[in-house]
Every structure is written in structure tokens, then in C-alpha cells.
């Protein structure tokens, strides 16, 4: 399974594009569409949109692989997209150790979906951008329950 156009759209909107290196909310050096730099990567003159798209494709492939490796139950396209976005944003380690994954692999799909909404903090601070992203993932996961977030 691969990230759908709807999943890619969410990811790109959530990350935004920056052609220069910046520090993300967690303080990691980042460029393009949320690509976390490794020590050997330097872009002293920034990157083009085309370079960012290429880097993004590799990062997405890694996130897709992680989701496929960690999840042991069937997924809908929306569920897969939500999880790929989650892993892209937070890393596969966070998914691997999460209650979300435990619920999901136990077949508790609805409980797993609601767990997405808990991941809207950086440290102790709730971030509006992360809250919106998690709600968007929830809607991808459960497209028939968009009103469930309005309580």
C-alpha cells in the first residue's frame, strides 16, 4: 500500500515547504517538506522545490515501510494514510511504542483512531498546528465520523 493523493496533500499542507534549513518545533534541523537533516546533509544554498519533492518521496517510502512493518492488521487507505502521516511527523519509534499501535494490532480500530488525537503536544505544550494535523489524520482514518471531533 502507498500513500494516496489525499494523504500526500495532508502531509504537504501540514509540513509546508521551506527552501532553507530551519529548526522545527522540537529543535531539529529541517528543510523542504519537513525533512529532518542527518549529520552528513548540508544545504548551504538551500534546495529547490524539485529537490524537496525527491527528498519527500524517499521520506514517505521510509514511513510507508515502517507502517507496513509495524501494523499486523488490515488497513483501509485512509487508515494507512493517517499512519504514514503520523510516522512522517513523529517517527516510527513513537508509533512502535504507542497505545495507538497496541490497540490497532488488537483490532480495536476505533480506539486506535481516538489515540491519534492525543499526539498534539510538543513537550507539555499543546500546539494548534499539531492539533489540526491529528484531527485531519482522524478524519482520514474515520471519514464517516467527522462530527465526532465537535463535542
Catalytic residues: 15
Mark 67-88 as b/e (b = at least 16 C-beta within 10 Å).
beebbeeebeebbbbbbbbbbb
Residue 48 half-sphere exposure toward CB, CA atoms < 13 A: 3
Instruction: Tell me the CB-side half-sphere exposure of residue 64, using CA atoms within 13 A.
Output: 16
Distance CA 118, CA 18 (A): 27
Amino acid at each position: 500500500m502507498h500513500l494516496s493523493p489525499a494523504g500526500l496533500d495532508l502531509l504537504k499542507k501540514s509540513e509546508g515547504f521551506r527552501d532553507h534549513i530551519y529548526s522545527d518545533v522540537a529543535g531539529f534541523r529541517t528543510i523542504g517538506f519537513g525533512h529532518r537533516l542527518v549529520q552528513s546533509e548540508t544545504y548551504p544554498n538551500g534546495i529547490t522545490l524539485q529537490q524537496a519533492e525527491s527528498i519527500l518521496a524517499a521520506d514517505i517510502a521510509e514511513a510507508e515501510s515502517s507502517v507496513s512493518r509495524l501494523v499486523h492488521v488490515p488497513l483501509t487507505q485512509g487508515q494507512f494514510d493517517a499512519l504514514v502521516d503520523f510516522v512522517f511527523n513523529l517517527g516510527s519509534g513513537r508509533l512502535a511504542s504507542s497505545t495507538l499501535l497496541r490497540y490497532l494490532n488488537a483490532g480495536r480500530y476505533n480506539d486506535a483512531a481516538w489515540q491519534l488525537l492525543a499526539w498534539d503536544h510538543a513537550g507539555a505544550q499543546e500546539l494548534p498546528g499539531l492539533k489540526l494535523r491529528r484531527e485531519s489524520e482522524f478524519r482520514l482514518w474515520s471519514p464517516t465520523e467527522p462530527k465526532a471531533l465537535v463535542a
